[in-house]
Amino acid sequence: MTSSSLRVAMVGHAFMGNAHSQAWRTAPHFFDLPLRPEMAVVVGRDAGRAAEAAARLGWADSSTDWREAIARDDVDLVDICTPGDTHAEIAIAALGAGKHVLCEKPLANTVAEAEQMTAAAEEARAHGVRTMVGFTYRRVPAIALARRLVQEGRIGDVRHVRAQYLQDWIADPEAPLSWRLDKTRAGSGALGDIGAHVIDLAQHVTGDRIAEVAGRLETFVKERPYPAGDTAGTLGGGGASSERGPVTVDDAVSFLATFSSGAMGVFEATRFATGRKNAIRLEINGSLGSVAFDFEDMNVLEYFDAREDPEVGGFRRILVTEPGHPYVAAWWPPGHGLGYEHGFTHQVVDLVEALAADRDPSPSFADGLQVQRVLAAVETSSDTRTWQEITR
């Protein structure tokens, strides 16, 4: 890094690449950052599309070779926004080149890959190189406030955790195959793609870790049509004559969990909850009260104080838009809500501030590895119909 800038290479420019680009562009204009992000180069597989993405999203240059990008002298940090099957190779190479790494979740497709990435991160850390995994929903102000209330003891000892991530984007059995439905590329389906988020949120807000799980995975639609133009079936593993290909990941998952403290957890993640678009729901019940959150009303946190007079007690609806609420002071006047994209901006802010202070960002690759172990344990539990302990 220079004394005043952080030069970034981003690998991948689809949905997540768009969100990350907006964050890199926006953060220095709303927050007083100790380092100014510079969007040096974006990497994609197709030269034309990568160049178009660079022009549209604000990157100074484009490339089709991520190895060339991480070797550049004008790159300090590599932001990985690619499918999970590429995370380990890119991250380990970037760390070996002395670059900081921000990697999208889940950290990898397997525990073994996540362990390799975490080991590489620990080795690089000794040389001042830092890593972060992108569990962005931690940075929603209402979630950050929920964590603060729990840490302050406002709900007492945690007893119950209920966590859901509900979507319906493939409820139609004719929705086409994509890389997210291919286990070789995505690692898992609803479990890793969206279940990983609520696993991380539950652990982050409670400050506790899942110790054991018992779960079930289900694939409701076993075959789907190939996308238009994919006549070779490259996304679904089918042959050239195939009109439909197999879905090799889960459509939905549910599992019970026991936390290290003894608290009980119930988790659900599905892409088949008709009518739910992006409902991330978290409710935590404690001995003195509760907090509850739903991302489809993301500027609100519900809080219940069991010590209040029951005649006037009840869940309090907190509009998390006051200047004293986490992250909010940099944005708009009270009552002017934030949106999905703001969490990514807050992620950039936290990462840049940690790098400038020469301290570890959070969540770390080790945190990502722990979530990966929970994912693997849930999958094993579904296969064996047994409770599974989370090792380490």
Domains, the chain: 5-137 (3.40.50.720), 140-338+370-384 (3.30.360.10)
Give the C-alpha separation, 276 to 334, whole Å: 28
Number of H helices, E strands in the chain: 11, 17
Model confidence at 392, pLDDT cuts 50, 70, 90, reads confident
Cα 202 vs. chain centroid, distance in angstroms? 13
Give me the chain's average pLDDT, please. Answer: 95
All residues at 6 or more sequence positions from 262 whose CB lies less than 8 Å from its CB, including other chains: none
Give the residue-averaged pLDDT of 252-263.
98
Q: Considering only 196-210, 217-231, 302-316, which range has the smallest mean pLDDT? A: 217-231
Give the C-alpha separation, 347 to 138, whole Å: 9
Contact between 320 and 2 under an 8 Å Cβ cutoff? The reply is no
Note the pLDDT of residue 1.
58
Determine how β-strand 100-104 pairs with β-strand 252-259.
Answer: unpaired
Determine how β-strand 100-104 pairs with β-strand 210-218.
Answer: unpaired
Note the pLDDT of residue 391.
84
Give the residue-averaged pLDDT of 245-256.
98
Give the residue-averaged pLDDT of 59-73.
98
Note the pLDDT of residue 2.
58
pLDDT in tens, 30-41: 999 999 999 999
pLDDT in tens, 3-30: 699 999 999 999 999 999 999 999 999 9
Contact between 338 and 298 under an 8 Å Cβ cutoff? The reply is yes
How many CB atoms within 10 Å of residue 143?
24
Whole-Å CA distances, 331 to 31, 187, 286, 346:
9, 37, 32, 11
pLDDT in tens, 280-308: 999 999 999 999 999 999 999 999 999 99
Give the residue-averaged pLDDT of 236-245.
60
Contact between 11 and 79 under an 8 Å Cβ cutoff? The reply is yes
How many CB atoms within 10 Å of residue 96?
13
Whole-Å CA distances, 56 to 52, 81, 191, 247, 285:
6, 17, 33, 33, 45
Residue of higher predicted confidence among 157 and 239: 157
**Res 233 pLDDT > 60:** no
**Res 238 pLDDT > 50:** no
Determine how β-strand 388-389 pairs with β-strand 210-218.
Answer: antiparallel
**What residue has token string 């609806």?**
317
**Res 231 pLDDT > 60:** no
Model confidence at 228, pLDDT cuts 50, 70, 90, reads confident
Reported as type and span, the H/E element at residue 11 is strand 5-11
Note the pLDDT of residue 235.
58
Contact between 146 and 206 under an 8 Å Cβ cutoff? The reply is no
Give the residue-averaged pLDDT of 56-82.
98
